[in-house]
Chain A
Amino acid sequence: MLEVAGLRKSFGSLLVTDDVSLSLAAGAREAVIGPNGAGKTTLFNLLSGELRPDAGTIRLAGRDVTRLPPDRRVTAGLARSFQRNNLFLGMTVAESLATAVALRRGESRVFWRPFAGARALHERAARLAESVGLAERLQTDVRHLSYGSQRQLEIALALAAEPRLLLLDEPTAGMSPEETKTMQRLIAGLPRDLTLLLIEHDMDVVFEMAERITVLDYGRVLVQGTPDEIRRSAVVKQIYLGEAG
């Protein structure tokens, strides 16, 4: 589903992505971990097209998307959520999701019918809200949602794009233990044919969700392996787990 080879990106003299290669089979569930500033989000920005790599290639379902802009990658089946909530603050939850659904279905071009009357869009939006636990919040202004609910909406928006490859950037960041559990259940319940790449600091979440883990440090891939291998790895203990406590 995703083939990344020799990806490189620097900001000025700072090398943030250093020869990163990754390979995810369809339906794989993998995680990227690493200390703060390791270049995890930058890697996602490269994958989603928000940043252009200096070198390397990205193939999505066999197709070279290295030069495609972000919106075309979404059409090609990739969607992402953001580490920092990145939402439509002037809309309600229902409007945000229905807007995302309209984009997914190519109905965002429709200018001859009212948006509010588009039943199919709003029904799908309601189902998405329900799937992330926002059913009660449909008519709430996004700006008035609690932080945790905004995180849920962040995921629901990405799901609205009906991706084949989903990139989640720290979905549980800043959440209470209870909210984290809910999010964990939500991720576990995603369709099995959805390929998932997850950045996460919460090791419980990572070890439970991921079949394979990539450890980044200073932009380089330190190790790749199964959760067990990562747990046993001395380098990882020293550089990452040691720090995390």
Chain B
Amino acid sequence: MPARDPLSLPVLALLFGGVLAAALFVDAYRLTIVIEIAILVIFVLSLDFLVGYAGLVSFGHAGFMGVGAYALAYLAHFQGWPSGVAILAGVACGALSGIAIGALVTRVSGVFFIMVTLAVSMMFWAWASKARKFGADDGLGGLKRMDLKPLGLDLNDDRTFAVVCVVLAVLAYLLFRWLVRSPFGQTLKAIKQNENRARALGCPVQRYKVAAFAIAGAVAAFAGALHLQNTKFVHPEVAHWIRSGEGLIVVIVGGAGTLTGPVIGGFLFVLFHRIVESFTTHWQIWMGLLFVAIVLAAPDGIFGRLLSLVRRKAPKGPGDA
């Protein structure tokens, strides 16, 4: 599968490079777009790790964002922890809830799996919407960004914050690239392709799925914490099922099972959202239509489609029968 992918490098260089350049030069409004893209990319990469590599189509992934955001809000705002430590603790909470939820949901399959992932994340959302301490469904403001002054970075400057977010998105990409190319990642692919055969080769499938949930949960929680750092505001919306659904759309439209796909998807999703939003309040209808059109035209997603176009043209290597 790592075979013949001449596209990822130029595409990623273009996208990440473009977003980074934007972070450095654009105006304040467009900076918010840059930040949104970076955070969404981190989120959808973690979701793609579950969906596209481990074959676990979760409909509740935003729940982990909620865990990261609320853990950060609680520890930093109410317990007075330094934000950096609170973020790490939030990531740990994401990993732990990934283990718990993974252990629960990987016992069921098919539509039940989808229902349980959805239900668990909605429970979190319902709790957050009622949690007085966090302003219930009004949310809670007045939170602070991490203090990186010792490193010479002022995160309260949106431009600096945007650059940091883009760098973190690149790091998230590299992390997952490293994981999916390892024997561990290869084993997840085997489970996705043929779970029954993997088990017949001695694979404790359940444990691998739980591990995938832990990793994806940790990174999604990090995206949630970053989201809070961006808005300085915590709100149940961060864990809403619409966000989980949007994440899946981005992964599928971009190209599940590739890491470049979700990066493309995240980039296009935010741009499309902002552009259409300026014309009509019904942007989700247009998003839905576009989603259907893309999925019909490119069942493997945009990047999957591009790859197969390039591969068809490329001469076949030796050993191709």
Contacts and interface: CB of A to CB of B under 8 A. Distances in A.
A binds B: yes
B202 A104 contact: yes
Interface in A131-159: 136-141, 144-146, 157
Nearest to A167: B200
Given A88-B193, A90-B193, A138-B319, A111 B202 contact: no
A60 interface: no
Contacts of B80: none
B114 interface: no
A113 B181 CA distance: 8
B197 A111 contact: no
Contacts of B2: 116
Nearest to A88: B193
A140 B184 contact: no
Contacts of A98: 186
B181 A99 contact: no
A115 B184 CA distance: 8
B196 interface: yes
B89 to A, nearest CB: 23
A112 B184 CA distance: 9
A48 B182 CA distance: 28
Interface stretch (A5-13, A66-74, A235-243): A66-74
A118 B203 contact: no
Interface in B179-205: 179, 181-187, 189-190, 193-194, 196-205
Contacts, number: 120
Give the one of B1, B2, B202 with max A CB within 10 A.
B202
Given A74-B200, A88-B193, A116-B2, A111 B184 contact: yes
B193 A108 contact: no
B183 A102 contact: yes
B183 A110 contact: yes
Contacts of A113: 182-183
Contacts of A71: 199-200, 202-205
Nearest to A92: B3
B318 interface: yes
B181 A115 contact: yes
Nearest to A113: B182
Interface string A115-129: 110100100000000
Contacts of A80: 200
B183 A95 contact: no
Interface residues of B, number: 32
A89 B190 CA distance: 9
Contacts of A90: 1, 189, 193
A79 B190 CA distance: 17
Contacts of A109: 183-184, 187
Interface string B1-33: 111000000000000000000000000000000
Nearest to B318: A139
B157 interface: no
A146 B2 CA distance: 23
Interface in A38-65: 48, 50
A102 B187 contact: yes
Contact of B196 (A50, A79, A136, A161): A50
A139 B317 contact: yes
Contacts of A74: 200-202
B1 A95 contact: yes
Interface in B274-321: 317-321
Contacts of A107: 183
A103 B199 CA distance: 10
Contact of A102 (B186, B193, B205): B186
Contact of B187 (A103, A137, A139): A103
Contact of B197 (A88, A138, A144): A88
A160 B182 CA distance: 19
Contacts of B205: 71
Give the one of B183, B198, B199 with max A CB within 10 A.
B183
A87 interface: yes
State the 4 A-B residue pairs at the shortest beta-carbon distance, nearest first.
Answer: A74-B202, A139-B319, A111-B184, A108-B187
7 contacts: A71-B199, A90-B193, A96-B190, A103-B202, A108-B186, A113-B182, A115-B186
Interface of B: 1-3, 178-179, 181-187, 189-190, 193-194, 196-205, 208, 317-321
